[in-house]
Structure 1
Amino acid sequence: MKQGRDLKVGVERFPIRGRFTISRGAKHEAAVVVATIGDGVHQGRGECVPYARYGESVEGVAQAIEACAPAIAARLDRAGLQALLPPGAARNALDCALWDLEAKILGRSAAELAGVAPLHAVETAFTISLASPDEMAARARDAATYPLLKLKLGDDGDEARLAAIRAAVPKARLIADANEAWRASDLERLLQAAKAAGVELIEQPLPAGGDAALQHIHRVVPVCADESVHDRASLRGIAKRYDAVNIKLDKTGGLTEALATAAEARALGLKIMVGCMVATSLAMAPALLLAQDADWVDLDGPLLLDRDRVPGLAYTSGTVMPAPAALWG
């Protein structure tokens, strides 16, 4: 008889270096929920970040994971998990824990199990939080060793921010994220400002559910869906409005659905960004499988923290290495 499995759930908090500010507000710590699944010999871990924008709370997500303990004890697999929980943070933690556990039991890498070629280092963006034009320009200048900067926009003064940052870092590649804060009436003007600043991509300029205008304008800068897309089921409805999609494991509900979402996005002609919430290396590690052939990678969560897990991912001037086996996968 196969031994049952046990589930442990923990909430951990990691201070953010300074503060992380977007159009919805600022925060000073990353609150993560970690699921650990063990079989008596091996343990697999997965980390998620509950997001209030999607109606999630730390307590609610932890409870949702804990409620799966009987199914885990009965050896729930990843296919069964997809049917048991909806896309979101809770399913992400469990899905990634199951990938990690399977890799450890079989003595094979999660990449190999997923049919992904041996992992290589990838270039990640580094995020500049929303602030005044001068402050963002100064932060961008301080981060000039990173070849790709991600600018948080979404407030009055975005044109000035874009111009100031480009003047401060004339050689850096730039992408930007408005976090649903632009108005349709300002869209074409702000896209032109982004083009003038040499921005490669704008994430989610309009609110999810209010982004129809994107289909009817000439997008002078490619536009990427974030809040408008969660998993495969949401792709077809937005494919004509966007040029790319930001795939995050906390939205898809784990690596299993994220891999399928990426394949479907490619089939629809969409480019791919692999993104993250502010979290530790444990949350980034499974996303690196998805990032191998992505058009843009934004997995800088640990770089925004005062401290990370040990062992964690190794970052060098905007390049992140594959995870050590002791961390995940």
Structure 2
Amino acid sequence: KKRVWNLLDLPAPKPEITAYTLSLGMPDAMERQAAENAFRPLLKTKLGGGEEDVARIEAVRRGAPDARIIVDANEGWTPELYQTLAPVLVRLGVQMVEQPLPAGQDEALLELERVLPVCADESCHDTASLSHLKGKYDMVNIKLDKTGGLTEALRLRDAALSAGYQVMVGCMVGSSLAMAPATIVAQNAAVTDLDGPLLLAEDRLEPLFFDESGVHGPSVGLWG
């Protein structure tokens, strides 16, 4: 019986290092979260907007001195705040910020020197979104929940790469079944963020397998 990737004429998905998301909180709480997850190679930190975000990232860096860090501003910054925070976050080793400005107000990114690479999340839903991103973003976050499924997600990935964007493959909180098709999209992505099942109290009977190599492709008992 052929697997989905065979039907798509793609190689079987190999493990991809996935980000692990730290909840937004006070700096001391975020430092504890980071320390508890310092063994993970890639941490994603939610930010709240405001200069206190620097204290949060300083705390995360203390807790996990060796981890790669990406941040999600959740549309909570202004252009002025990006200009203030971005150089500081770069010095702290942050590699990218997701959606710093509200999707409807991201024209301002055209005028900014993006010293910290910017990833489109709420501003990028499907292939049709790409024409609105030129000159504003360096990376796009592809989520099955936004594209509507695997076919459009793969189409968006290929179009984004052809247009010169880096690719992130992300998720909402969900079970291993919800993540499984995204393991195909995530192959060789610059950033993989498929930690949804790790944030659940219970998962599928045959869940995705996570280890030091990252998130593995689904078993035949799960999907595909």
Shorter-chain TM-score bucket reads over 0.9
Report if aligned partners of 2:19, 2:43 keep a CA contact under 8 Å in 1. yes
Length-normalised TM-score, structure 2: 0.97
**1:180 equivalenced with 2:62 (yes/no):** no
Larger strand proportion of the pair: 1
Length-normalised TM-score, structure 1: 0.66
SS of the residue aligned with 1:162?
helix
**1:153 equivalenced with 2:47 (yes/no):** yes
Which residue is 2:4 aligned to? 110
Q: Structure 1 residue 163: deviation in Å?
A: 1.3
**Residue 137 of structure 1 aligns to which amino acid in structure 2?**
E
Q: Deviations over 1:131-172 (max 9, x none)?
A: 111111110110011100000112331011111111221111
How many residue pairs align between the two structures?
A: 223
Residue of structure 2 aligned with 1:231, choices 122, 126, 129? 126
Q: Percent identity?
A: 49
**Residue 136 of structure 2 aligns to which amino acid in structure 1?**
R
Report if aligned partners of 1:125, 1:318 keep a CA contact under 8 Å in 2. no
Q: What is the CA RMSD across the aligned residues, in angstroms?
A: 1.0
Counterparts of 2:119 and 2:141, CA distance in 1: 6
**1:311 equivalenced with 2:206 (yes/no):** yes
Which residue is 2:93 aligned to? 198
**1:281 equivalenced with 2:176 (yes/no):** yes
**Residue 132 of structure 1 aligns to which amino acid in structure 2?**
M
Q: Deviations over 1:163-197 (max 9, x none)?
A: 11112211110011011011222111111121121
**Residue 57 of structure 2 aligns to which amino acid in structure 1?**
L
Q: Deviations over 1:188-238 (max 9, x none)?
A: 111112112111110000000101111111111111000000000011111
**Residue 273 of structure 1 aligns to which amino acid in structure 2?**
M
Counterparts of 1:272 and 1:223, CA distance in 2: 11
Q: Which runs of 5+ in 2 are unaligned?
A: none
Report if aligned partners of 2:37, 2:64 keep a CA contact under 8 Å in 1. no
Counterparts of 2:49 and 2:112, CA distance in 1: 22
SS of the residue aligned with 1:120?
coil
Which residue is 2:14 aligned to? 120
**Residue 167 of structure 1 aligns to which amino acid in structure 2?**
R
| The structure with more radius of gyration | 1
**1:291 equivalenced with 2:186 (yes/no):** yes
Which residue is 2:135 aligned to? 240
Report if aligned partners of 1:153, 1:178 keep a CA contact under 8 Å in 2. yes
Report if aligned partners of 1:122, 1:297 keep a CA contact under 8 Å in 2. yes
Report if aligned partners of 1:147, 1:318 keep a CA contact under 8 Å in 2. no
